[in-house]
Chain A
């Protein structure tokens, strides 16, 4: 794994290495690993990385938080770290203090809507909300007569229909039935649902890219161990070429995701075609890489990689599942394509070259 020079990221990597070893987690069917991992992350202040100190967080900058998420992706961890970070970030936009414990955000898909009623309560339904079942609070983005607001809601106050994603992580339907939030404030000017989806999409892109890095890593290692026809399979040219393609997909995902994260960290405006290009492209390209790259990782592993005992699925299924959160690649492709078309043919290259 990449040894980070950055102290925040190094802390996260150390915790993951100590408490989120894929093999240990895979063997532990009862989930005993979860609490120690979450506690260690919380003690290090990582879930609230993006929350200012006066709002209860640890006040890391956006770039550091993104790097932590890349590391979380490399371990494909299945605790709501990314979700809590996103929730804290969302609440901070309206200067709402973050509570302790696991959080998640709603809506998590572009088409779902939560609305603010005249009496200040919230209504609506959000599908595919990651880890809602494990969250103590939900940070919600809702629209009302006075524009967008950001609200903090107790998980006990909403109705949750449990669901699971491809990797068996919680992915639930959350219904807001005239729920009174703990706190609610107007969203900053220009902050809308697309903003949240783009930010969520970049978070998922970093996680997918990280998972692909690990898939490349374990696939290369496996190919150097497995012997068939009296040779290591890594010596077969067809296998080498498959792994070279996996390296390409992994590299493309990493480049797209880190570029988008860098764009957001340095231009904190989402109402900008260039940032939209970066964020949407990251989600599209990383999702494509999850499909192509994950497919190769499984191919190289043969049947063993298809077993529940092997760790490969911890990365491959999560990378595939993350494609669906905060807008699938098809969704963002349509949105990006519409924007490109609206700008006109001769403005396409200037847009691409502006990054």
Chain B
């Protein structure tokens, strides 16, 4: 085979099922207690620090990390279960999820010991929110065009420039950012970027909110003016961030959050059509469920590869490509299928409200975390075409 793409039928072990029950019970309790409303995806109360602390207490943040940093030394498959249950319930995980998925693992790998001891346990307790500072006004897909500079000074670096589209920067405690420490070389235009840990809410950082078409404010512009980063906040190799980037991609790109963001409209469609759907609705639902099931099996399979210590970058990109295209089309398909549902169906109104929001959400799904076009480029490379 040119491309030995393997998606072995990994099954979640029994202890995952026990954990799943625990998570469901916890979420049911939080919903009953009014912490969040799973039927209001566009809720204003998306940022719920109290909820994060409770999730931390349960041991569901930093699950796979070493105990000495507050982690729980559990498997990727167990983490997988927690992530999908949270997603499906529309739980407000935004505050801790980036740190759990991405920032924590970067710190584990590249931060000095005293920083790890200081920060990781607080992430695990659900106390810290992280932002990702990669994109800049002229550097999105082409990350290596980033210009924000970190210039050497006594005991650290001075940062000047602007990051953009930074999700959650307005509530974040830290950001892991890419800054330019030297110009690209002729041989390697990826050279010259360095990863830093940035403490937010400090002098020299200005966070400006940017509204989104959904009516939410998640994006921000982050402006750095002579912002000081101490030496021990440098992560990994100077000028070598590009080498550090690839292995993280598989974590970022294959999880259940990559196909479940608009899932709630499918549940509500099933509710609206009732227990005896007409042929058209039944067929539509059947196909959507078959597609969902297939993606989930692929995604679990990639989680199994990660658990086995592999770096399935191409497989993960395939899951994200298919998954995000699917979650993007889902609300439109559901809208089609709901067209003939009785006006008086019990949850018709809920469904419509949710559809409005999901349809507005849809355009971003194939952009965030790497666009479809960029992913297909990575897959093509994996196929030996570039």
Question: Which A residues fall within an 8 A CB radius of B?
Answer: 1-2, 213, 216-217, 220-221, 223-224, 234-235, 237, 239-241, 243-245, 247-248, 250-252, 254-256, 258-259, 261-263, 277-278, 280-282, 284-285, 288, 329-330, 332-338, 340-342, 344-346, 348-349, 352-353, 355
Are B273 and A341 touching (Cβ within 8 A)? yes
Does B377 sit at the interface, judged by CB under 8 A? yes
Residues A256 and B3 in contact in the complex (CB < 8 Å), given A329-B287, A330-B283? no
Interface pairs (29), CB distance under 8 Å: A216-B3, A220-B2, A220-B383, A224-B384, A224-B385, A237-B377, A243-B379, A243-B385, A248-B321, A251-B298, A251-B318, A255-B7, A255-B9, A258-B7, A258-B8, A259-B294, A261-B9, A278-B293, A284-B287, A285-B294, A288-B287, A288-B291, A333-B283, A335-B282, A336-B289, A338-B286, A340-B289, A341-B273, A341-B281
Does B15 sit at the interface, judged by CB under 8 A? no
Write out the residue numbers on chain B whose beta carbons fall within 8 Å of the beta carbon of A346: 267
Q: With A and B bound together, what is the CA distance between A223 and B384 in angstroms?
A: 10
Are B277 and A240 touching (Cβ within 8 A)? no
Are A256 and B297 touching (Cβ within 8 A)? yes
Question: Which B residues fall within an 8 A CB radius of A?
Answer: 1-9, 11, 20, 81, 84-85, 88, 263, 266-268, 270-271, 273-277, 279, 281-287, 289-298, 301, 315, 318, 321-322, 373, 375-377, 379-380, 382-386
Q: With A and B bound together, what is the CA distance between A330 and B11 in angstroms?
A: 28
Residues A334 and B283 in contact in the complex (CB < 8 Å), given A217-B3, A250-B5, A352-B296? yes
From B9, B263, B315, contact of A262 by CB (8 A): B9
Tell me the number of A-to-B contacts counted with CB atoms below 8 Å.
194
Q: With A and B bound together, what is the CA distance between A285 and B290 in angstroms?
A: 6
Query: What are the nearest 8 A-B pairs in CB distance?
Result: A333-B286, A337-B282, A337-B286, A240-B380, A336-B286, A345-B271, A281-B290, A244-B379
From B5, B290, B293, B373, contact of A254 by CB (8 A): B5
Q: With A and B bound together, what is the CA distance between A137 and B332 in angstroms?
A: 49
Are B285 and A248 touching (Cβ within 8 A)? no
From B3, B281, B322, B382, contact of A337 by CB (8 A): B281
Write out the residue numbers on chain B whose beta carbons fall within 8 Å of the beta carbon of A281: 289-290, 293-294
Write out the residue numbers on chain A whose beta carbons fall within 8 Å of the beta carbon of B276: 341-342
Are B383 and A255 touching (Cβ within 8 A)? no
From B9, B301, B377, B379, contact of A248 by CB (8 A): B379
From B85, B88, B277, B297, contact of A255 by CB (8 A): B297
Write out the residue numbers on chain A whose beta carbons fall within 8 Å of the beta carbon of B385: 220, 223-224, 234-235, 239-240, 243
Write out the residue numbers on chain B whose beta carbons fall within 8 Å of the beta carbon of A262: 9, 11
Residues A349 and B88 in contact in the complex (CB < 8 Å), given A240-B380, A334-B279, A337-B277? yes
Write out the residue numbers on chain B whose beta carbons fall within 8 Å of the beta carbon of A337: 277, 281-287, 289
Q: With A and B bound together, what is the CA distance between A268 and B248 in angstroms?
A: 39
Write out the residue numbers on chain B whose beta carbons fall within 8 Å of the beta carbon of A277: 289, 293
Residues A258 and B277 in contact in the complex (CB < 8 Å), given A337-B284, A344-B270? no
